[in-house]
Structure 1
Amino acid sequence: MEEALNQIRTLASGFEKTRDHLLRARHLPGDVYSSNEIYALEKDRIFMTHWLSVGRVEEIPNVGDYMTFSVMNEPIIISRTGPETVNVCMNMCLHRGVAVASGCGHAKDFSCPYHAWLFDVGGKLIAAPGMKESEVDFRDAKLKQLPVKIWRGWIFTNFSSEPPSFEDYIEPYERELWWFQSGECRLADKVEIDVKCNWKFLVENLIDIYHVGVIHKSTFGGFVKGEKIGFQLEKDGGWHTQYQARPHSKSGEQVFPTLPWAKEESSGIACKAGIYPNLNLSMRSDSLRMWHVWPMSPDSTRIVCYLLFPEAAFSIPNYDEEMTKYKSFVRQIITEDAVMVESLQNASGSRFFVPGPMAPLEQALHHMEKHYIDLMTSAT
Structure 2
Amino acid sequence: MNAAIAQMRELAPKFQLTKESLPRARHLPGMVYSSEDIYALEKERIFMTHWLSVGRVEEIPNVGDYMTFSVMNEPIIISRPAPDEIRVCMNMCLHRGVAVASGCGNAKDFSCPYHAWLFDVGGRLIAAPGMKESEVDMTGASLTQLPVKIWRGWIFTNFSESPQPFEEFIEPYEEKLWWFQSGECRLADKVVIDVKCNWKFLVENLIDIYHVGVIHRSTFGGFVKGEKIGFQLERDGGWHTQYEARPHSKGGQQVFPTLPWAQDKSPGIACKAGIYPNLNLSMRADSLRMWHVWPVSPNETRIICYLLFPDNAFSIPDYEAELGKYREFVKQIIAEDAVMVESLQNAAASKFLKPGPMSPLEGALHHMEQHYIDLMTREA
> Normalising by structure 1, what TM-score?
1.00
Cα distance in structure 2, aligned partners of 1:175 and 1:371: 23
Q: Does 1:77 align with 2:77?
A: yes
Cα distance in structure 2, aligned partners of 1:3 and 1:248: 45
RMSD of aligned Cα (Å): 0.5
Equivalent residues in 2 for 1:199-348 (5 A)? 199-348=199-348
1:178-236 CA-to-partner distances (Å, cap 9, x unmatched) read: 00000000000000000000000000000000000000000000010111100000000
1:221 maps to a residue whose letter is: G
SS in 1 for 2:210: coil
1:5-29 CA-to-partner distances (Å, cap 9, x unmatched) read: 0000000011000000001100000
Structure-2 residue corresponding to 1:142:
142
Cα distance in structure 2, aligned partners of 1:14 and 1:150: 39
Structure-2 residue corresponding to 1:153:
153
Cα distance in structure 2, aligned partners of 1:59 and 1:176: 27
SS in 1 for 2:253: coil
Cα distance in structure 2, aligned partners of 1:360 and 1:166: 33
1:258-289 CA-to-partner distances (Å, cap 9, x unmatched) read: 00000111111000000000000000000000
Equivalent residues in 2 for 1:28-47 (5 A)? 28-47=28-47
SS in 2 for 1:211: helix
Instruction: Point out where structure 2 has 5 or more consecutive residues left out of the alignment.
Output: none
Q: Does 1:358 align with 2:358?
A: yes
Equivalent residues in 2 for 1:28-177 (5 A)? 28-177=28-177
> Normalising by structure 2, what TM-score?
1.00
The alpha carbon displacement at 1:62 in A equals: 0.5
What's the % identity of the aligned pairs? 80
1:84 maps to a residue whose letter is: D
Cα distance in structure 2, aligned partners of 1:350 and 1:264: 51
Cα distance in structure 1, aligned partners of 2:111 and 2:81: 16
Cα distance in structure 2, aligned partners of 1:360 and 1:82: 51
2:124 maps to a residue whose letter is: K
Cα distance in structure 1, aligned partners of 2:310 and 2:104: 25
2:248 maps to a residue whose letter is: H
Cα distance in structure 1, aligned partners of 2:268 and 2:225: 11
1:303-332 CA-to-partner distances (Å, cap 9, x unmatched) read: 000000000000000000000000000000
SS in 2 for 1:280: strand
1:361 maps to a residue whose letter is: L
Q: Does 1:368 align with 2:371?
A: no
1:67-86 CA-to-partner distances (Å, cap 9, x unmatched) read: 00000000000000111110
1:78 maps to a residue whose letter is: I
SS in 1 for 2:22: coil
Cα distance in structure 1, aligned partners of 2:63 and 2:219: 42
1:48 maps to a residue whose letter is: M
1:228 maps to a residue whose letter is: K
1:294 maps to a residue whose letter is: W
SS in 1 for 2:369: helix
Structure-2 residue corresponding to 1:181:
181
The alpha carbon displacement at 1:344 in A equals: 0.2
Cα distance in structure 1, aligned partners of 2:241 and 2:251: 24
The alpha carbon displacement at 1:170 in A equals: 0.2
Instruction: Point out where structure 1 has 5 or more consecutive residues left out of the alignment.
Output: none
Structure-1 residue corresponding to 2:197:
197
1:330-351 CA-to-partner distances (Å, cap 9, x unmatched) read: 0000000000000000011111
1:171 maps to a residue whose letter is: E
Cα distance in structure 1, aligned partners of 2:112 and 2:251: 50
Segments of 4+ moved more than 4 angstroms: none
2:282 maps to a residue whose letter is: S
SS in 1 for 2:76: strand
Number of residue pairs aligned between Structure 1 and Structure 2? 380
SS in 2 for 1:361: helix
Cα distance in structure 1, aligned partners of 2:231 and 2:330: 24
Cα distance in structure 1, aligned partners of 2:174 and 2:211: 29
The alpha carbon displacement at 1:140 in A equals: 1.2
SS in 2 for 1:119: strand
Cα distance in structure 1, aligned partners of 2:252 and 2:372: 36
SS in 2 for 1:23: helix
SS in 2 for 1:247: coil
2:122 maps to a residue whose letter is: G
